[in-house]
Amino acid sequence: MSIMGTRVVRTEDPVFLSRGATYTDDLTDERLNGALHLTLVRSPLAHARITAVDVEAAREAPGVVAVFTGADVDLAPALLFAGANPGMVRPWLATDKVRFVGEPVAAVLTEQVYQGQDAADLVEVDYDPLPAVVDPRAALADEVLLFEEVGTNLAGGFGHDKEFDEHLFDDCDVVVTRDIVNQRLAASPLETRAAAAVWGDDGRVTLWASTQNPQSARDEIAGWLGIDAALIHLIAPDVGGGFGAKIGADPEFALVVWLAKAVGRPVRWAETRSENLTGMLQGRAQLQTITIGGNRDGDVLAYRLDILADAGAYPRLGVFLPFFTRQMAPGVYDIPKVESRARTVVTTTTSTGAYRGAGRPEATAAIERAMDLFAAEIGKDPAEVRKRNVVPPDAFPFETKGGAVYDSGEYAKAIDRVLEGAGYAELRAEQAARRERGDVVQLGIGVSAYVEITGGGAFSEDASVEVHADGTVTVLTGTSPHGQGHATAWSMLASEHLGIPIEKITVKHGDTDLIPRGSGTMGSRSLQTGGVAVHQAAGELVELAKRRAADVLEASVDDLEVAEGAVTVKGTDTSVTLAQLAEKEQLKVDTVFDSGAPTFPFGAHVAVVEVDIESGKAVVDRIVTLDDAGPIVNPLLAEGQRHGGIAQGISQALLEEVVYDSEGNPLTATFADYAFPSAAELPSFTLLDMATPTNLNPLGAKGIGEAGTIGATPAVQSAVIDAVSYLGVRHIDMPTSPLRVWEAINAARVESGAGSDSSEGAQQ
Amino acid sequence: MIPVAFSYARPDSVDGALALLAEHGEDATILAGGHSLLPVMKLRLGAPEVVIDIGRLPELRYIRVQGDEVAIGAGTRHRDLEASDVLGSDVPLLAAVARTVGDPQVRHRGTIGGSLAHADPASDLPAAVLALDATIVLRSPRGERQVPATGFYTGMFSSVKEPDELIVEIRVPRTGSAGWAYEKFTRRANDWAIVGVAVVDGRVGLVNMGASPLRASATEAALADGASIDEAAALADQGTDPQTDVSATAEYRRHLARLLTRRALTTAAG
Amino acid sequence: MTISVNTSVKVGITVNGEETTADVEPRLLLVHYLRDVLGLKATNVGCDTTSCGACTVLVDGESVKSCTVLAVQADGQSVTTMEGLSPNSTELHPMAAAFRAEHGLQCGFCTPGMVMAAVSLLEENPTPTEREVREGLEGNLCRCTGYHNIVRAVLSASGQNPDAVQTTSVDADADQSPAGGVESAPGFSTGSGA
């Protein structure tokens, strides 16, 4: 019986559930004996000139071995993302200026971790405050510049150098436009950032770091330090979540390496949560203007998306992500005319990068909001309007007006199935009954349909499979997981070919000396690249074993089959085990799989919320999702990815937001203030399945890691608005907090007499 | 994050703790459950030189009926309040409010005396003891005094408790079958209340509607004058001075105070 | 009577059934005593504000957040960490086994604290409803699982069938309503008439 598609429990778990996983801060590697602990002195101001840094008192504090300031670091400030405005470089420790609260200003190395904060508190920095610029619209005005010598706050853009088509909406009877916010979020993996480095006598450095892609992190750090990447041995131990914010390296990792060299001792660093919520890359942070037009029958004829993205103080991946937002702008819809542009500006805030979905949730949230506004304007059911405009199943591969080529999809079917699964008609009836009764608790129903891009950007991945003489198997993979269960799934893929049970298969990842090439785990790419590479390697190993066995068994390769870890002459009991073959000669295959293109998983979600219209509080009562990522290797793992994604989607819609005051002070820099949800704020989830394969890889697999987030966010936001739409509310920005819902209801009631709430709608 | 270094003592009696408090004055602080104090110390928003640990004193951990009152030792933990049969039958409001404090781990450690002494305006228990017309018993080397809960709070994180005094007991009237309710409005289950309203026997305590927990006296007066619940609740924000923060504007807090008071009074009226 | 005020204190704590002693700074947090003095690294630190629960251990059988307890406060008491639940990785404690069977963990960072909180929850409430599980774990944050399978694991460990108890329908869980009647928030509106 095939192991594929079965609910295999994780091979990782017995250790995780007994002695616990080993994260970077847990390491007891003897090479780290005597390591110094790094404590960073961070800026309390968002924007200021540094006039003096006095570290003398800190140097005298107990346990202090060294204190460094920016002046001590002999590294050129680095452009942290190659596509950004080249002058927007970040110093390793701030020298002349600080540009966000949390920017490192001095580095304190102590014998004991408890001594670090004591000493750091003694570092005196004199600041001359400058005006903060927090709102990207204000940054765009270039009145306060973060980098005076650059002369602008514009960090990058896509399609922003040409004018919008003034005739885009000429054919439309109805045009709706709205400014919406896709708010800034903190990725908040439970493990904060951590690194440890030790230089060896051979002139190489071993760096342990909590990262999603060790090989890329190694290359980035080498580039920043100006050394050969071959000198860095980077190891990712167990990683406690990433969600995009641990893609690649952070400057602190490079600083740890540099400091270890400078003091000639191992150095360890693990940040606090308060540091994490100002230092780690944050996500989303787009201001969008959406304009949608069509006819009163419900045909959408034109769509425009104008993006102003917030890069934070020092441009990182956040500069690039609007590229994906533009590419996915039309969503699942076949819209005749689509145009978009994106501008990204620096602000005196934490830098932005990937967060679960990374540019695509922003696209889906925008088009789904636009579809709702359009449907409301023409007075039609939002689910019906969606179905009317989706790309039909016979149109694939389908090249969109966003410039993407969708591989396969059944969008209308997905919407139909999720509506049926949720009992959409009954829900509408229940909603009508509550409205009729004038209930305090009203029902809201939100429908979203989405398509997203997975495996984008890095299509190739290495894999190696080796059977050993003792019958065990080692799999090497370039995708380095942080909770996704690759050890289990990759074992299943190898086991399927070799017939060797997964208990005998070890999956290794995250060590750049062992696995020099790899692109890591991000963008829902792992199965369709790294997993397929393992599948391919195991298949090639079967063929290799057959060729070798043909000699041993004096049989034709065509007469041989591999099952239960042995090569057998078909129809006989003449066989040789793979282990025996390995005894004679190393039995190992290295391979590379290259899909050449990304895949486009899709789905539809229905969210049901209850809104207390007196207090404004919304609670998700139920969410039903259909997420189609093609055939599933292990439903237990795939469902887990969907659950986590759905929770983060609900949370963006209802709860989470990184907030800065006008002076750039973060107001959500602890978990007491940042609205990370607990089990008590979330419902259980209803998952529906559908599997439309892609032809871009032999498993037919697409990515599943981010789908839940991309679909759930607009469904829940839409449901909250839907609950109070009968009062005249058309839009509420996320998070749809009780305060915002209450204010929206009040505003609609005030305006309802004049009907001005819908005045933004009909512009033509 | 970790606290600034301090010296530590664990006296084996209340008298021992009082002697240490007298000796070290404002340099010292009392540690009971630690769930108000240690978070402040870890963030280095407070740095006492001497920490006097009373968290293990059996003489401070009890719940017992004394005539018309229930006497509760200051070291009684939230979990003890929550699970107490005596409170469940005689002062159900207090048990119910204790159940809404923090999360189970916090309730396993945090104490009623610590919560009242910390005087956080967003904390649940102070509003409950206000609504209950409780009495707070303070002891110092100078002796013992009883302060009505309504006269205990003086401002943000401050009370009439002198630096050499220790809360040793809270005396709560047995409300028995009187109607009661607690309405706590949060975004997340274990958040501090955006606004909370405790009602028992026609008295109304407000959480997070100003620098100190307070009673909704205009509402209470209206009720006493025979006003309807709706009319009385509409006055709940009178005399309050709520903050604007990330979760709520002052105006929204006023609205919530009125709304939650109406709901709590309605529930209490059964 | 003299009471000593100390800058270094000797603590004796029974951890996972074994006596441990050390001279420590009074400010040493219990979590760092476990991790750095004893080398028990399962218990993690995920925040600074007693919010996330990753550091949850049992002290005398009750769940506590060991980042908000001084080691010296646990002097003379008994502490259980996740390492103390299961004798080894092949003989998992029933709660740990349920987490595995239901895929109640992904990255694993919240897991030790979550498991300990769940053990304490069932100690106080052996047969909780789904809602009681969710509120009972409100002090433990997980970013990976969305809690769905954690809730299933705890229900399963309590001897209940999660498929039967877990509610995903709009009608079955009226107690989650944001204002069921006059209530305003799940679990936080109580009263004599409620």
| Per-residue pLDDT, A754 | 42
| Per-residue pLDDT, A757 | 37
Nearest by CB to residue C50, choosing from B9, B39, B96, is B39
Task: Kindly list the residues from chain A whose CB atom is less than 8 angstroms away from the CB atom of residue C111.
Answer: 16-17, 20-21
Nearest by CB to residue A679, choosing from C54, C88, C150, is C150
Structure tokens at A97: 């200026």
pLDDT band at C194 (very low <50, low <70, confident <90, very high): very low
| Per-residue pLDDT, C3 | 66
* Total count of residues recorded for chain A: 764
Asked if the Cβ–Cβ distance from C52 to A686 is below 8 Å, we say no
Task: Kindly list the residues from chain C whose CB atom is less than 8 angstroms away from the CB atom of residue A23.
Answer: 44, 109
On whether any CB of chain A is under 8 Å from the CB of C33, the answer is: no
Structure tokens at A454: 């997975």
| Per-residue pLDDT, B158 | 95
| Per-residue pLDDT, C1 | 41
| Per-residue pLDDT, A762 | 36
Q: For Cα atoms A180, A185, A186, give the angle at the middle one, nearest 5 degrees.
A: 175
Every domain range in chain B assigned CATH 3.30.43.10: 7-53
Give the dihedral sign, CA A377/A381/A383/A389.
Answer: negative
Every domain range in chain B assigned CATH 3.30.390.50: 180-269
Structure tokens at A719: 């449901």
Query: Which residue is closest to B20 within chain C, CA to CA?
Result: C3
Query: Which residue is closest to A270 within chain C, CA to CA?
Result: C45
Spans of all domains in chain C: 9-84, 85-170
SS3 (DSSP) at A338 = strand
| Per-residue pLDDT, C193 | 52
Residue ranges of C 127-186 with Cβ closer than 8 A to chain B = 135-136, 138-140, 182-186
The alpha-carbon gap from B260 to the nearest alpha carbon of chain A, in Å, equals 9
Nearest by CB to residue C176, choosing from A18, A619, A636, is A619
Query: Which residue is closest to A20 within chain C, CA to CA?
Result: C42
Every domain range in chain B assigned CATH 3.30.465.10: 58-173
Q: For Cα atoms A541, A546, A551, give the angle at the middle one, nearest 5 degrees.
A: 135
- Measured from the Cβ of residue A5, the count of other Cβ atoms closer than 10 Å reads 14
| Per-residue pLDDT, C191 | 73
The DSSP annotation for B22-74 comes to HHHGGGEEEESS-TTHHHHHHTTS---SEEEE-TT-GGG--EEEETTEEEEET
Give the dihedral sign, CA A482/A483/A486/A491.
Answer: positive
Q: Which of A681, A623, A616 is nearest to A655 (CA)?
A: A681
pLDDT band at C175 (very low <50, low <70, confident <90, very high): very low
pLDDT band at C6 (very low <50, low <70, confident <90, very high): confident
Query: Which residue is closest to B246 within chain A, CA to CA?
Result: A667
The alpha-carbon gap from A481 to the nearest alpha carbon of chain C, in Å, equals 9
Structure tokens at A217: 């992190």
| CA atoms of B58 and A1, how far apart (whole Å) | 63
Asked if the Cβ–Cβ distance from B188 to A677 is below 8 Å, we say yes
Q: Check: CB of residue A519 under 8 Å from CB of residue A479.
A: yes
On whether any CB of chain A is under 8 Å from the CB of B5, the answer is: yes
| Per-residue pLDDT, A752 | 77
| Per-residue pLDDT, C168 | 66
Nearest by CB to residue A622, choosing from C151, C169, C178, is C169
More confident: A759 or B262: B262
Task: Kindly list the residues from chain B whose CB atom is less than 8 angstroms away from the CB atom of residue A274.
Answer: 1, 43
Q: Check: CB of residue A318 under 8 Å from CB of residue A390.
A: no
CATH class of C9-84: alpha beta
Kindly state the percentage of chain C with pLDDT values over 70. 86
Number of cross-chain residue pairs from A and C with Cβ atoms under 8 Å apart: 236
Task: Kindly list the residues from chain A whose CB atom is less than 8 angstroms away from the CB atom of residue B190.
Answer: 678, 680
Strands B135-140 vs B143-148: parallel, antiparallel or unpaired: antiparallel
Task: Kindly list the residues from chain C whose CB atom is less than 8 angstroms away from the CB atom of residue A614.
Answer: 179
C129 exposed, middle or buried (CB, 10 Å; 0-12, 13-18, 19+)? middle
Mean pLDDT of B243-255: 96
The alpha-carbon gap from B220 to the nearest alpha carbon of chain C, in Å, equals 18
Interface test with C, best of A10, A13, A613 (most C CBs within 10 A): A13
| Per-residue pLDDT, C166 | 86
pLDDT at B40 over 60: yes
Q: Check: CB of residue A316 under 8 Å from CB of residue A247.
A: no
Q: Check: CB of residue C157 under 8 Å from CB of residue C122.
A: yes
Nearest by CB to residue B53, choosing from C56, C73, C138, is C73
pLDDT band at C5 (very low <50, low <70, confident <90, very high): confident
pLDDT band at C178 (very low <50, low <70, confident <90, very high): very low
Query: Which residue is closest to A619 within chain B, CA to CA?
Result: B187
A325 exposed, middle or buried (CB, 10 Å; 0-12, 13-18, 19+)? buried
Tell me the domains of chain A and their CATH numbers. 34-130 (3.90.1170.50), 282-454+598-758 (3.30.365.10), 456-594 (3.30.365.10)
Can you state the angle between helices A707-724 and A635-654, rounded to 10 degrees?
A: 40
In the block, tokens 């329908």 appear at: C169
Instruction: Compute the 3-state secondary structure of chain C and give helix, strand, coil in percent, each to the nearest 5.
Output: 35, 15, 50
Report chain B's mean pLDDT, rounded to a whole number.
96
Nearest by CB to residue B185, choosing from C27, C185, C191, is C185
Asked if the Cβ–Cβ distance from B252 to A667 is below 8 Å, we say no
CATH number of C85-170: 1.10.150.120
Number of cross-chain residue pairs from A and B with Cβ atoms under 8 Å apart: 49
| Cα separations in angstroms, A678 against A50, A495, A736 | 40, 37, 17
pLDDT for A628-649, tens place per residue?
A: 999 999 999 999 999 999 999 9
Nearest by CB to residue A668, choosing from B190, B246, B248, is B246
Longest dimension (CA), chain A: 91
| Cα separations in angstroms, A184 against A47, A283, A664 | 19, 6, 14
On whether any CB of chain C is under 8 Å from the CB of A244, the answer is: no
| Per-residue pLDDT, A753 | 65
Asked if the Cβ–Cβ distance from C56 to B105 is below 8 Å, we say yes
Nearest by CB to residue C139, choosing from B1, B3, B105, is B105
Backbone angles phi, psi at A20, to 5 degrees: 90, 160
Q: Which of A93, A63, A280, A125 is nearest to A191 (CA)?
A: A280
The alpha-carbon gap from C97 to the nearest alpha carbon of chain A, in Å, equals 8
Strands A575-577 vs A405-406: parallel, antiparallel or unpaired: unpaired
Interface test with B, best of A742, A746, A749 (most B CBs within 10 A): A742
pLDDT band at C4 (very low <50, low <70, confident <90, very high): confident
The alpha-carbon gap from A300 to the nearest alpha carbon of chain C, in Å, equals 32
Asked if the Cβ–Cβ distance from A272 to B247 is below 8 Å, we say no
Mean pLDDT of B186-214: 96
Asked if the Cβ–Cβ distance from B247 to A678 is below 8 Å, we say no
Mean pLDDT of C50-79: 98
Tell me which fold the domain B58-173 belongs to.
3.30.465
| CA atoms of A244 and A232, how far apart (whole Å) | 23
Q: Check: CB of residue B30 under 8 Å from CB of residue B11.
A: no
What element of type H or E holds C78?
A: strand C78-80
The alpha-carbon gap from C156 to the nearest alpha carbon of chain A, in Å, equals 15
Q: Which of A261, A624, A259 is nearest to A421 (CA)?
A: A624
| CA atoms of B27 and B21, how far apart (whole Å) | 9
Task: Kindly list the residues from chain B whose CB atom is less than 8 angstroms away from the CB atom of residue A114.
Answer: 2
On whether any CB of chain B is under 8 Å from the CB of A737, the answer is: yes
- Measured from the Cβ of residue A764, the count of other Cβ atoms closer than 10 Å reads 9
User: In which residue ranges of chain A is pLDDT below 50?
Assistant: 754-764
pLDDT band at C183 (very low <50, low <70, confident <90, very high): very low
In the block, tokens 């131990």 appear at: A237
CATH number of B180-269: 3.30.390.50
| CA atoms of B55 and B78, how far apart (whole Å) | 13
On whether any CB of chain A is under 8 Å from the CB of C55, the answer is: no
On whether any CB of chain C is under 8 Å from the CB of A649, the answer is: no
Question: Does 3.30.43.10 match the CATH number of domain B7-53?
Answer: yes
Interface test with B, best of C7, C48, C60, C70 (most B CBs within 10 A): C70
